[in-house]
Structure 1
Amino acid sequence: MNQFSIVVNRYFSHQKSSYINSNIFKNNCFNLIQRSYLRPSISHASILQHVKELKHLQQVHAYIVTSGLAQNIFLSNRLTNSYASCGLMNDAEQIFHRIPCKNVVSWTILISGYAKNYRFVEAIGVFSEMVASGLLPNDITISSIVPAFGKLGLTQIGKSIHSFWIRRGYGSNVIVETALVGMYSRFGHVGVARKVFDYMPERNDVSWNAIIECYSDHGFGEEGFRLFNLVRREGFTVDCFTIMSLISAASSIDGSRVGEGIHSFASRTGFQNDQLVRTALMNMYVNRNCTDDAYFIFNEMKVKDVVAWTLMLTAFSSGKYWAKALEHFNEMMRVEDLELDSVALMGILKSCSSLGALHQGRGVHALIVKIGFTHDMFVGSSIIDMYANCANLEDARIFFEGMEEKDVACWNAMIAGNGMNGYGNDAIDLFLQMKGLDINPDESTLVCVLCACSHAGMVDKGLDIFSHMVKTWNIVPSSRHYACVVDLLSRAGRLRDAYSLVNSMPFDPDFEVYCALLSACKVHGKIELGIEISNKLFQLEPNDAGYYVLLSNMYALAGNWEGVKMTRVSLRAKGLKKDPGFSSIEINGELYTFMAGQKDHPQYSEVEGLVKFMIERIKEAGYVPDTKSVLQELSDDVKFDILYHHSEKLAIAFGLGRTKQGTIIRITKNLRTCNDCHYASKFISKVFERVLVVKDANRFHVFEGGVCSCKDFW
């Protein structure tokens, strides 16, 4: 390195970004170059090494061109690398193609640039051109291209490159061998990755991180931790990537204490403030449904990127904190320069869908159009699902038909939307259209179709589709498909056939199948069979209070109050609690949520009078409260008060008072609606001449003129 380059390097190392971000770069540095009598290519290359901003890179580039140095291969390689480092691969490629006599460094820089910018197909294309030109790759070329094979799952080509490396006798190289460990990990070949690692004569921190990550990512968390302990004994340095691999390993091990231990270790070693580590910890807690822990980390972050915001949105959505998810999304929208991605958009659409927040969902749809995500098919299927779950099938259909390209997920969403809204024939028609367009259905498609047949009472059609799944579509029925057919038969009153199907299944029934059968037992009053099914459910899901409540309601309907008492004692003995019922209603874009029995609600003074008026009116029309599911030792007044303050009644009364005559009232409830609320809703729809759309935990109920779309089966 010449004297000028040494001066430049020292100056940059002291001044760093403050120097680069000032006009001194333009005024002083170029003056030094212009006055320098030393080799200009070396001087320019030294400056390029430190340029971080595009405008300064372009200034250096322009000066190189005007100085007649554009054909210098050394400078051209440096320029290619600088543009690639800025993510400007088109500019990098233009400079590369202008190099008259490209060497292996030229090709390697372009290959590495594409790989580092996640343009793996282009990286492989350039690599192929290089080999075709007669140049042999070196160790840096190999280590640059190997990750691309891993990312794209090109197993055979990856193995060929590994064989090439061995045949050419390049010898041991820690960088190449570490890249090979990562590649085989991507292929899912954990054993091969371990063999490569074990034969490495030299290992560095990156090598250890690669093999720990390999085991962690493929569910072998215990081995990942064993290797970590070996790393510490051999004295290698732990960095943020090690911590992230351990977090991944903890996620594959049952129990939360391991994850908490890694969190504690990250704090002790000073990595808890690293953005990547915090994000990984958040992801771990989100996957474990520890929303409060994830939120604590999120709030501690000084700088929150779109990944952190989206993870928290996912946590609220998957944890059924849907109202909080909407609030969180509105906060996201107030953050400057935060670019939303498809994951965030799908998360907020899911929350709008779950809450029946149609107005909010339309706003998100408008935002999607504005920022250009309408062509994303994952987002598109979420939009269809949102409209369908808000009982606005017409808008779902309009969007679906307007999509230029549809994948199977979009078709599934539209079929499911028709099915859940009671349009079974339309769902079947869509299914047949898929066949005409040569779109192969998947397992979810058949689930959607069978559910549609069930909700529409199309028993023969559903059974015909089920019997031809393997022969026609090469899809082996899973437990979900059996659950749909059990529900189909049960709704038609063919409980014996449903139970026979369960007993003839080629594998052990899971909770979905038994739950469908238990619901049928409740409707048809088959108490003994219901008790038998409940015992099987308790074995599969011993900590789900919902099944105890369902069994208790069955006993109550049969007048077996001793059975009710025993079930509730068992519930308390296990320390289980029934989830509190809540219902939401959206009015003029604002979401209102009511809890069962909630008398401290901000709008309760308004709702109380509306509920009394509503109950009086439907009583005059013949409504009689169904108190069978309420504890019998309570007085009648207390029983009635409990029933009148169920969450959907509060929400419906509020909707009647706050909306104009003729407006559809849309309610979303987190639990299955009770017999009394279902019975009352039919009277409300008739007396007040309103359409009520109630989506409970099990299905849609559209009440109109005193009749429900579910035909009293839910």
Structure 2
Amino acid sequence: MAAIATASVSSPLTTIAPGAAHPRHLSTAISSAASLSHLKQIHAQIFRNNLHRSNSLLLDFVLSSLPFSSDYALAVFFNIHNPEPHLCNKLLRKLSRSREPRKALLVFGALRKKGFSVDRFGFPPLLKAASNALALVEGREIHGLGCKLGYDSDPFVQTALLGMYASCGLIPEARRVFDKMSYRDVVTWDIMIDGYCESGLFDDALSLLEEMKSSGVETDERIFTTILSSCARARNLAVGKQIHNFVSENGITIDSQLQTALVNMYASCGSMDVAQSLYDELSPKNVVASTAMLFGYSKVGQIEAARLIFDRMASRDLVCWSAMISGYAESDQPQEALKLFNEMQAASRIKPDQVAMLSVISASANLGALDQAKHIHMFIKKNGFEEDLRINNALIDMYGKCGSLDGAIGVFDRMHRKNVISWTSMINAFAMHGDANNALLLFNQMKHEKVEPNGVTFLGLLYACSHAGLVEEGQKMFSSMVNEYGLVPKHEHYGCMVDLYGRANLLKEALKVIETMPMAPNVVIWGSLMAACRIHGEFELGEFAAKQILVLEPDHSGAHVLLSNIYAKERRWGNVREVRKLMTLNDISKEQGCSKIEINQEIHEFLTADRSHKRADEIYAKLDIVVDKLKEAGYAPDTSSVLLDLDEDEKKDAILWHSEKLAFCYGLMNSERGSSIRIIKNLRVCEDCHNFMKLASRVFDRKIVMRDRTRFHQYADGLCSCKDFW
């Protein structure tokens, strides 16, 4: 028999001489493969030398090697003329546990076509594959074949059947299998209880738990961990507490895994006091429990407590970094979110995933700083996220909220694949910038591309029409939404229609919408009417709308402020004092005006009449210069919006010290002539500041981009993109 010759040290290739067919020699050659590439070279020689029966040895080795290549394993398998049952079962088992369990079902289909039979050991992995792939049709077919071959009474097949039906959400079928089982171990009870929990049938799960206890089967910690995890996902605190009590009353040992599940359940349900006490007892603290605490504190708005947990963690994985970044982003602290993201890059080698990047993009969008947004986009390109659909959709939203329509359009146009969210995000970006015409054109293009709009799409379109005063187009959009697409309008859509009519000074039509809508108007609906009344000076109807809001939400600051302003307009100072007194007694405060400006990737924040900035004296000196130059060009402070009982000079100071004016002056001090100044304002811009910015854009030759609470204003050469309709 010819010997097996090995290649020199310089080459990893093992060569097989013709006729070297002894299984031991072949096994040695195959097992010597150091990589998949090396194994394929040996495979090529096997094929060249017509040693086909060694494919079984080759497949056995491929199935045992790491990393596992399902494609290569299948290529080898389908070259075996008559595969042995144990190899078929091994392949099915491996594929069923892989990331592509459907491939096991494809092998099953191919074997049946070739007339090969599957023995009872092949059914559990096949059912496992159907379970993991949620392939109910194939699972039922396998079940039928198993019954036909008499394998349905096999305990392993029954357990796999139970798992398949439970995973696919067919709980009644799973229960029928469970009830027919002659032998039930702790695993089968666990599967059935888990199936009930995953389907939200917690009462059935608890009942089965009691039945398990009375049947004599000893419960283990895994079952309770399973139920508690489901309670955490469903935010079902009541059942979670019952499980906690069951564990305590039955003297079940609480190991670290079960303790972690309890922490996670209470934290997910917002019961942070109990979660904290359980977390304090956990020693050592693990990443899973710590991350659950981060999520829990973030969701109840205790971001400082979350950060304290984060800072004390001995080790941090990507999930906990993402949780903390997301916590800041969702707690309206975008600067902290971006700062922490930068710390993650500097302090660890952890690469962010899609979830982390979505939080970072959201933070950047909320911050509204264009330079930061561009920096994030560069990071995305560099790290291979640019083809991700959700990332691109978020980038469109980010650029829109950062005042760069060109940036949003650039992302949209480069996308190879778009969904309804992509189109809707772009429509919303146009709407936010007051570009209703392009929003409507894009909607027509969306229809041409056969993309079905949803309720959010129409919100963007109605918003665009409202802010552009396009009443007729808005009416058509609302009608199309209902009659053409069969979408049921929600409060938000009716709110847009009220806003559409209200902004156009069609207050009777706005009130008619409220009176005829099929559901009770909420605070948002009355708020839209109230805002319109404030704009158009309809104080009687505005007072009525404000009082309706206070019935629904007694602590609504906006309604109190409007009532105070209405009374102030009419110089009813006694009524003003009553409203202000009520606000003080109930600790209701008006939201303070705040403006932000980005200079050299650093965010500077200003409040009204703010002197906390380190360069405050210079800023106020600059403001005096700016005001003098604007007065020369015809500016006169409009004190009509200062509805306080002050003398005229005090009113002028109050209006001139608005936060956006301070931010603008700081921008003038720190940027070159001709460059844009970008400001983010948390409230609606007042009439005086709007006129101030229009005139300043011409006098100082600056493009000023301001995002207020509802939209963008782009001031240039003495004009605003909103055409003074906002």
Normalised by the length of structure 1, the TM-score is 0.79
Match in the other structure for 1:445: 457
1:106 aligns with 2:77: no
Q: Is the 8 A contact 2:197 2:227 kept in 1?
A: no
CA offsets per residue over residues 77-105 of structure 1, 9 Å max, x none?
6534444x635434444454455543455
**1:129 alignment partner AA:** A
Q: Counterpart in 1 of 2:675? A: 663
The structural deviation recorded for 1:494 is 0.8
CA distance in 1 between partners of 2:700 and 2:676 (Å): 11
Question: What amino acid is the match of 1:118?
Answer: R
Name which of 438, 442, 446 aligns with 1:430: 442
Residue 12 of structure 1: aligned partner: none
Residue 323 of structure 1, CA deviation: 0.9
> 2:61 aligned to 50, 69, 79, which one?
79
Q: Could you tell me which residue of structure 1 aligns to residue 103 of structure 2? A: 122
Q: CA deviation at 1:190?
A: 5.8
AA of the residue aligned to 1:663:
S
How far apart are the structure 2 equivalents of 1:418 and 1:700?
10
Contact 1:627 1:640 in 2 (8 A): no
Superposed, which structure 2 residues align to 1:157-556 within 5 Å? 157-161=138-142, 170=151, 187=168, 236-239=219-222, 244-250=229-235, 258=271, 260-262=273-275, 264-265=277-278, 268=281, 272-273=285-286, 275-538=287-550, 540-541=552-553, 545-556=557-568
- Whole-angstrom CA distance in 2 between matches of 1:422 and 1:441: 20
CA–CA distance in 2 between the matches of 1:204 and 1:267?
Answer: 35
Quote the Cα distance in structure 1 between the aligned partners of 2:518 and 2:357: 40
CA contact (8 A) 1:251 1:259 kept: no
Deviation readout 1:312-335 (Å, 9 max, x if unpaired)? 222222221111121122123325
- CA distance 1:59–1:461, change in 2 (3 Å): closer
CA contact (8 A) 1:422 1:452 kept: yes
Structure 1 partner of 2:602: 590
Find the aligned partners of 2:468 and 2:55 in 1 and give their Cα distance: 72
* Superposition deviation, residue 196 in structure 1: 6.0
Match of 2:636 in 1: 623
* Equivalent position amino acid for 1:345 in 2: M
SS in 2 for 1:585: strand
**CA 1:56–1:666: 2 relative to 1, 3 Å:** same
- How much has 1:418 moved relative to structure 2? 1.6
Contact 2:55/2:79 (CA < 8 Å) preserved in 1?
A: no
> Counterparts of 2:152 and 2:397 in 1: how far apart (Å)?
56
- Counterpart amino acid of residue 399 in structure 2: Y
Task: Report the CA distance shift for 1:108/1:357 in structure 2 as closer, same or farther (over 3 A).
Answer: farther
Instruction: State which drifts further: 638-647 or 394-403.
Output: 638-647
Asked if the contact 1:667/1:694 (under 8 Å) is kept, the reply is yes
Unaligned runs of 5+ residues in structure 2 are 1-22, 239-265
Question: Which structure: larger Rg?
Answer: 2
Query: Match of 1:446, SS?
Result: helix
Identity %: 31
CA contact (8 A) 2:126 2:142 kept: no
User: For 1:590 and 1:608, how far apart are their aligned partners in 2?
Assistant: 20
Distance 2:572 2:123 in 1: 75
Distance change >3 Å, CA 78–CA 467, structure 1 → 2: same
Query: CA 1:250–1:142 in structure 2 vs 1: closer, same or farther (change >3 Å)?
Result: farther
Residue matched to 2:660 = 648
Q: CA deviation at 1:454?
A: 1.6
Mean CA deviation greater in 355-364 or 203-212: 203-212
What amino acid sits opposite 1:494 in the alignment?
Answer: L
Q: Indicate which of 665, 685, 690 corresponds to 1:678.
A: 690
Tell me the CA shift for residue 463 of structure 1: 0.7
Amino acid at match of 1:486: V
Cα separation, 2, equivalents of 1:370 and 1:666? 27
Asked whether the 8 Å contact 1:387–1:393 carries over to 2, the reply is yes
Counterparts of 2:522 and 2:442, CA distance in 1: 29
CA distance in 1, matches of 2:609, 2:205: 50
473-482 or 660-669, larger mean C-alpha shift: 473-482
Query: Match for residue 89 of structure 1?
Result: 70
1:32-52: per-residue Cα shift (whole Å, max 9, x none)? xxxxxxx979x99xxx9xx9x
- Quote the Cα distance in structure 1 between the aligned partners of 2:276 and 2:151: 41
Return closer, same or farther for 1:622/1:272 CA change in 2, 3 Å cut-off: same
Q: Is the 8 A contact 1:73 1:102 kept in 2?
A: no
Q: Structure 2: how far apart are the matches of 1:417 and 1:667? A: 17
Conservation of the 8 A alpha-carbon contact between 1:174 and 1:204: no
Structure 2 distance, partners of 1:496, 1:638, is 38
Moved more, 139-148 or 298-307: 139-148
Question: 1:606 maps to what in 2?
Answer: 618
Displacement, 1:203? Answer: 6.0
Tell me the amino acid that sits aligned with residue 426 of structure 1.
Answer: N
> Take 1:219 and 1:589, find their aligned partners in 2: how far apart are those partners?
48
Judged with a 3 Å threshold, the aligned counterparts in structure 2 of structure 1 residues 197 and 456 are, in CA distance, closer, same or farther, namely farther
Change (3 A) 1:708 1:225: farther
Give the CA deviation at 1:642. 4.7
Residue aligned with 2:221, SS: coil
Alpha carbons of structure 1 residues 464 and 61: separation in structure 2 relative to 1, 3 Å: closer
Matches of 1:372 and 1:629 in 2, distance apart?
52
Task: Tell me if the contact between 1:246 and 1:262 (Cα under 8 Å) persists in the aligned partners.
Answer: no
**Matches of 2:192 and 2:574 in 1, distance apart?**
59
Contact conserved, 1:216 with 1:248, CA < 8 A, in 2?
Answer: no
Alignment check: 8 A CA contact 1:247 1:262 kept: no
8 Å CA contact retained: 1:247, 1:284? no
Question: Conserved in 2, the CA contact under 8 Å of 1:583 and 1:670?
Answer: yes
- Kindly tell me: are residues 474 and 597 of structure 1, through their superposed partners in 2, closer, same or farther at Cα, counting changes over 3 Å? same
Amino acid at match of 1:404: H
Question: C-alpha distance in 2, partners of 1:640/1:226?
Answer: 72
Q: 2:87 is matched by which residue type in structure 1?
A: S
Q: Contact conserved, 1:250 with 1:258, CA < 8 A, in 2?
A: no
Cα RMSD for the two superposed structures? 4.3
Change in 2 beyond 3 A, CA 1:570/1:127: farther
Q: What amino acid does structure 2 have at the position aligned with 1:472?
A: E
Cα shift at 1:374: 2.2
Q: Secondary structure at the match of 2:549?
A: helix
Residue 687 of structure 1 pairs with residue 699 of structure 2: yes
Given the superposition, is the C-alpha separation of residues 699 and 285 from structure 1 closer, same or farther in structure 2, using an over 3 Å criterion?
Answer: same
**CA contact under 8 A between 1:80 and 1:93: conserved in structure 2?**
no
On the 8 A contact 2:642/2:651 being kept in 1, the answer is: no
Letter in 2 for 1:526: E
For the residue of structure 2 that corresponds to 1:236, the secondary structure is coil
- SS at structure 2 position matched to 1:592: strand
One-letter amino acid matched to 1:238: E
Matched, 1:699 2:705: no
CA distance in 2, matches of 1:596, 1:229: 63
- Cα deviation for residue 180 of structure 1 reads 5.8
Counterpart for residue 36 of structure 1:
none
TM-score, normalised on structure 2? 0.78
Kindly state the Cα deviation for residue 695 of structure 1 after the two structures are TM-superposed: 1.0
From the superposition, tell whether residues 541 and 171 of structure 1 become closer, same or farther in structure 2 (CA, over 3 Å): farther
Q: Residues 145 and 421 (structure 1 numbering): CA distance in 2 closer, same or farther, change over 3 Å?
A: farther
Letter of the 1:89 counterpart: S
Q: Report the Cα offset of residue 410 of structure 1.
A: 1.4
Change (3 A) 1:554 1:92: farther
Contact 1:685 1:704 in 2 (8 A): yes
Amino acid in structure 1 at the alignment position of 2:541 = L
Report 1:127-166 matches (<5 A): 127-134=108-115, 144-146=125-127, 149=130, 154-161=135-142
Contact 1:582 1:594 in 2 (8 A): yes
SS at match of 1:334: helix
